[in-house]
Structure formats: structure tokens, C-alpha cells
Amino acid sequence: MEDVRAKLPNKLFTVDEYYRMAEVGILDPDARLELLEGQIVEMSPVGVRHVACVNRTTALFAKHSADRAIVSVQNPVQLSDYTEPQPDIVLLKPRQDHYAGKKTSWEDALLVMEVSDTTIRRDRYKVSLYARAGVSELWIEDLGDDTIYVYGNPSSAAYGTSLQFHRGDKISQLAFPEVSFRVEELIG
């Protein structure tokens, strides 16, 4: 007998449908999920090193960006009608209301950062999603090899710039080039 499911199209969910499913109780409000290209994806649990890295980087960014940016930690950023990841850290353009009156989207992001302990494959998959949306700068902190991958100059297909930084290297953000960090300050 032929498998009918193989011929059925996959249902891709919009961001609005995703939130509606949470509102009516279809999705567990405590579940760690993100919406990637219309598919609801379960996020991996975070380990101790991942948490420490996010905390360390958040403190450094908050100290050095002061009133020039809002440091948003593990909150969603809408990239399209079908994609809303939850990056580990986002530097947002400052707003008086701290985004109480507006959902954050890719246009608000000065820098998006993903911290990868066990999720490097998924985070590399997201690179093209961030580029297509137009996120100006993306960092992936790969804790597996103590490397920070920096992507810039987005296009509809990919990032035009891809750099790697290792222990001993200094790194700065496009938005605040006068502020630099040593890689080990960020990854521990």
C-alpha cells in the first residue's frame, strides 16, 4: 500500500499562526521552540558553558554599548513571515520604550549572535536565513573550537564577508568599531 503521507504537502506556519497556536494551548508555553522557514523546531537544551558564555558576552555588551544599543537575550527576532529564530544575543537599535510597542525584527538588529555549544550545524543553517533577511552583522561563537565566525554584507543569497577569529584575536562590531574585545573575553 502506498504511503499517502509522502504525497501530502508539508504545512508551513506563519509567525502569526505560530503565536496563535501558543495562545490557544497547542504549543506548550514553556517549550523551547523557534520558527524556521515555516517549521516549528525544538531548540537544544543549553549547557553550563553556553550559559556562562551568554552571560559573559551580555555583560560585556551592556557595559560597552550603554545608551547606544539594547542588549536582548534569547528573545525572538522576526526575519520574515515564516521565520522567527531566538538568537542568544541581539544588539538592538535603542528605543525609549525598549520595544514594548513594537515586535523586534531584523531591521532593528545591529548585531545578532548565536552561541553554539552543540548546535553548530543548526546555527550555520541559520546564516543564510539571517543574510536573506538583511541582518547586517551575525556572529556565531563556536565553543567547540573556540572560534567566533563573523558574517557581514548580507545579500539575498548569503553574506559577502565571512571571517574567523580565534583566541588572541581582537574583534569589534560594525556598529561600534571603536570598541574591541579579545575572543577569550567572549568565549571564556
Give pLDDT tens digits for 29-44: 888 999 999 999 999 8
**Residue 8 scores a pLDDT above 80:** no
Q: Provide the CATH topology of domain 46-187.
A: tt1808, chain A (3.90.1570)
% the chain with pLDDT above 90: 85
Banded model confidence at residue 1, pLDDT cuts 50, 70, 90: very low
What predicted TM-score, i.e. pTM, was given to this entire model?
0.91
| Contacts (Cβ under 8 Å, ≥6 apart) of 143 | 49, 50, 53, 115, 116, 117, 187
- Using one digit for the tens of pLDDT, what is the confidence trace for 147-157? 999 999 999 88
Determine the Cα–Cα distance for residues 132 and 8; give it in Å rounded to an integer: 28
Say what the alpha-carbon torsion angle 56, 57, 58, 61 is, to the nearest 10 degrees: 130
Q: How confident is the model at residue 104 (pLDDT cuts 50, 70, 90)?
A: very high
> Considering the chain, what is the average pLDDT of its residues?
92
Give mean pLDDT, residues 132-138.
Answer: 97
More confident of the two residues 46 and 2:
46
Q: Which three cell numbers stand for residue 111?
A: 548585531
Does residue 118 or residue 2 have the better pLDDT? Answer: 118
* DSSP-derived 3-state class of residue 82: coil
Q: Which residues contact 27 (CB under 8 A, 6 or more apart)?
A: 18, 21, 33, 40
Range among 36-45, 113-122, 135-144 rated most confident: 135-144
Q: Of 140, 160, 26, 125, whose CA–CA distance to 88 is shortest?
A: 140
pLDDT at 3: 57
Domain limits of the chain?
46-187
- In whole angstroms, give the CA distance from residue 175 to residue 186: 17
